[in-house]
Amino acid sequence: MTSNALRRSLALAAFTLLCSEVLAAPKVYVSNFKDNTVSVIDSDSKAVVATVPVAAGPHGMGMSRDGRRVFVTGDDSSSMSVIDTASDRVERTIDVGKSPHGVALTPDGKTLVVGVYGEDRLALVDTASLTVTSTIPVPKPHTISIRPDGKLAYVASQEPGKFALVIVDLAARSVTGTVPLDKPPRDLEFGAGGKALYFTRAGVNTIAVLDPASDKIVAEIPTGASPHLANVFSGATLGTAVVQGPGELLLFDPATNAPIRSIPVGQQPHWMASSGGRSVWVTNEGSNNVTVVDIQSGQTTTVAVGNAPRKVVIQSAAAPRVGISNFLFDPSELIVAPATRVTWINDDGAPHGLRFKDGAPGQDLLLPRAEFSRVFDRPGTFDYVCSVHPYMSGRIVVR
């Protein structure tokens, strides 16, 4: 084989490998309450590929922004298990306090807020060091949702006789207000864009729609018996709600707050997750499986998991990175999809920089350990060089 042919062969192999990494299907993580495990599902094949033992009574679940970690609280313990998604093993167990319930991640991904039900407080966990950095008193915190701007957290407080949504200023680490309720709040979620907070209450067969600008309930969406969770996912045109009594996923119009139709799922559905808004994964606690619902067609697929599945999260794709070391960009060519954010990090001892040939803003000086990011929102080939050392070059291909 000639040297040119060898180079072409190696380039093709590298291209194939890179494409397989970019297009790898995300994994879905399902907590099995009675098994004290998490089932890991390949979202493409719909097959369980791993089972991970976690803290007793897995209750709340969260996914890191880069898709590299899953956080699982143990209701029957004082622990939170941290799963490494590369190995699908627990990499760390964190003591957060007695009977931790729901979790929510701040939009910047730096802080995980945990409801410590047994100790009437929120625990704030730094996701870099995996340590509890502070606590905020809140009575009987069950589930949590953080406003998209990251400033306020809304907490479902189940204190007997004083049921409420408790509003917490995350920067000040203090409670700023409450929304009193006559029934225990169950679950609450900010819909995409943060214009509405959807929440359910025990014994009330409607979804309450709260306007966060006024903290007033502005609508009630009628449902079947025992609605548990409602949301409008990013990329979705319709809202979805898990309704436990009839075992269905309810679709509703977020503009009019009117029910549209219902799709049967399994027995006693508990939670749901979506990636892109086109399909929804619903856990069925009473039938030990997960139903994958195609929203447009209404078609469903069932995946058997463990005993009493409750929470579910879907892995997000890790943000692509280009390292700078030994006066080289690594990789020198990166293939990504449109709307992808690419981050460069200077792992060298010398300063570098970025100058894009399409004229987009770059970085004149990138000191060691510093980072720079750019979102590529359209297909094309984008060449760049180091602004300090022009003989260093790289390329981003968007397709």
The larger pLDDT score, comparing residue 193 to residue 20, is at: 193
Q: Give CATH superfamily name and number for 319-398.
A: Cupredoxins -  blue copper proteins (2.60.40.420)
CA angle, corner 372, sides to 370 and 378, nearest 5? 165
> Structure tokens of 126?
């730094």
The pLDDT value recorded for residue 18 is 43
The pLDDT value recorded for residue 282 is 98
How far is it, in rounded angstroms, from Cα 281 to Cα 274?
Answer: 6
pLDDT at 19 over 60: no
Q: Where are the CATH 2.60.40.420 domain residues in the chain?
A: 319-398
Spell out the SS3 assignment of the chain: CCHHHHHHHHHHHHHHHHHHHHCCCCEEEEEECCCCEEEEEECCCCEEEEEEECCCCEEEEEECCCCCEEEEEECCCCEEEEEECCCCEEEEEEECCCCEEEEEECCCCCEEEEEEHHHCEEEEEECCCCEEEEEEECCCEEEEEECCCCCEEEEEECCCCCCEEEEEECCCCEEEEEEECCCCEEEEEECCCCCCEEEEECCCCEEEEEECCCCEEEEEEECCCCEEEEECCCCCCCEEEEECCCCEEEEEECCCCEEEEEEECCCCEEEEEECCCCEEEEEECCCCEEEEEECCCCCEEEEECCCCEEEEEECCCCCCEEEEECCEEECCEEEECCCEEEEEEECCCCCEEEEECCCCCCEEEECCCCEEEEEECCCEEEEEECCCCCCCEEEEEEC
Residue bearing tokens 């979202």: 43
The pLDDT value recorded for residue 14 is 44
Q: What is the pLDDT of residues 229-288, one digit of tens each?
A: 999 998 788 999 999 999 999 999 999 999 999 999 999 999 999 977 789 999 999 999
The larger pLDDT score, comparing residue 91 to residue 369, is at: 91
pLDDT at 1 over 70: no
Mean predicted lDDT score pLDDT of the chain: 91
User: 238: closest CA among 220, 223, 262, 255?
Assistant: 255
The pLDDT value recorded for residue 93 is 98
The pLDDT value recorded for residue 73 is 98
DSSP-derived pairing of the beta strands 380-385 and 185-190: unpaired
Instruction: Identify the architecture of domain 54-182 in CATH.
Output: 7 Propeller (2.130)
Q: What is the pLDDT of residues 32-61, one digit of tens each?
A: 999 999 999 999 999 999 999 999 999 999
Q: Which residues pair with 299 in a beta bridge?
A: none
The pLDDT value recorded for residue 2 is 53
The larger pLDDT score, comparing residue 91 to residue 192, is at: 91
Spell out the SS3 assignment of 221-282: EECCCCEEEEECCCCCCCEEEEECCCCEEEEEECCCCEEEEEEECCCCEEEEEECCCCEEEE
How far is it, in rounded angstroms, from Cα 37 to Cα 89?
Answer: 11
pLDDT at 202 over 90: yes
Q: What is the pLDDT of residues 111-128, one digit of tens each?
A: 999 999 999 999 999 999
Sheet hosting strand 269-274, strand order edge to edge? 269-274, 279-284, 289-294, 300-304
CA angle, corner 158, sides to 227 and 220, nearest 5? 35
Indicate the pTM of the whole model: 0.78
